[in-house]
Structure 1
């Protein structure tokens, strides 16, 4: 991977296809409203559904979270589930774009150990938006070679790494209630 090119693409509002734990994801800068709109349009995803933030560390997620609503016990439980394969719904802060959170007062977040994503998030010093690399309703790609040409022709950079080999999308847990939303 050319790290300079992927960082440049991210910093310039580009859409990036990249490997996650189980499937390929599409992402962009969570603070770039134009990039978020472009990603939703490319994926044909309704904005009210929201998207995930994928990070190398919990601290990268803090600008998007209202930590005052998470008790110490909840925080300990949340942190014990990471890294990998578990997306958690946490209270969003007031500055978090509704393009990220959708119609919800929570935001979906995950800390990963996928090396390409960890490296990118460390270089940009923030999380990357994550939504599966497929048009809404279609099967997500599990390799960069199987990405839909309708997407690859419109993304700005493809990180040609490998997923971590998980066989199903991430489990989703609501941090405040402990309820499993998707198993």
Structure 2
């Protein structure tokens, strides 16, 4: 884990605690504020989808601190596919990867057999997922059809008490949310 002061560590700990208790948190990412929770806790994911007003069938992105947190999704890739994906990580780039062994819940994948994943270089995201010990959900902090929040005040305006913890911090340097590309088709899903 990168070097962080005691006050920041306390906030990371509170965020992890909220996630472990089935809560939804808000946190800064590369370009916009994100909402996150434990992807294996169906109630937490349903709560996140409800407050965001996002239909489950669209699927959600997962974010990790490092490759080891998602190694089970990388093990079935060819060497060329592995090299292509890892060339962009850590960084603000999301890949849609096959979930051949069906280890990611349907409430994360939506109508798809694959899952969108990012290994972040953003210090708050990395510290959070390292402290949590696993990847978490990462979706933009905005109700459907609204602009993603670019500051904590907008997060509070959108969601108020509906989120369980807000991890203060700075956004990264990216101007736009991360690019999403499908590994199998090489199709750009979101620029």
Q: TM-score, normalised on structure 1?
A: 0.93
1:40 is aligned, of 49, 55, 58, to 49
Asked if structure 1 preserves the Cα contact closer than 8 Å seen for 2:89 and 2:118, the reply is yes
Asked if structure 1 preserves the Cα contact closer than 8 Å seen for 2:12 and 2:167, the reply is no
For 1:4-19, list aligned pairs within 5 A.
4-19=13-28
Alignment of 1:75 onto 2:82: yes
After superposition, the C-alpha distances for 1:7-66 in whole angstroms (9 at most, x for unaligned) are 111111110100111100001011111101111111110000000001101221235x27
Asked if structure 2 preserves the Cα contact closer than 8 Å seen for 1:56 and 1:118, the reply is yes
RMSD: 1.4
Alignment of 1:128 onto 2:128: no
Q: Can you give the 5+ residue segments of structure 1 that lack an aligned partner in the other structure?
A: none
Alignment of 1:87 onto 2:66: no
Q: Give 1:4 deviation, angstroms.
A: 2.2
Q: Distance in 2 between matches of 1:177 and 1:23?
A: 27
Q: Distance in 2 between matches of 1:76 and 1:91?
A: 15
Q: Give 1:101 deviation, angstroms.
A: 0.6
Asked if structure 1 preserves the Cα contact closer than 8 Å seen for 2:74 and 2:82, the reply is no
Q: Can you give the 5+ residue segments of structure 2 that lack an aligned partner in the other structure?
A: 1-7
Q: Which residue of 1 aligns with 2:161?
A: 153
Alignment of 1:103 onto 2:129: no
Asked if structure 2 preserves the Cα contact closer than 8 Å seen for 1:141 and 1:148, the reply is no
Q: Which residue of 2 aligns with 1:26?
A: 35
Count of residues in correspondence between the two structures: 181
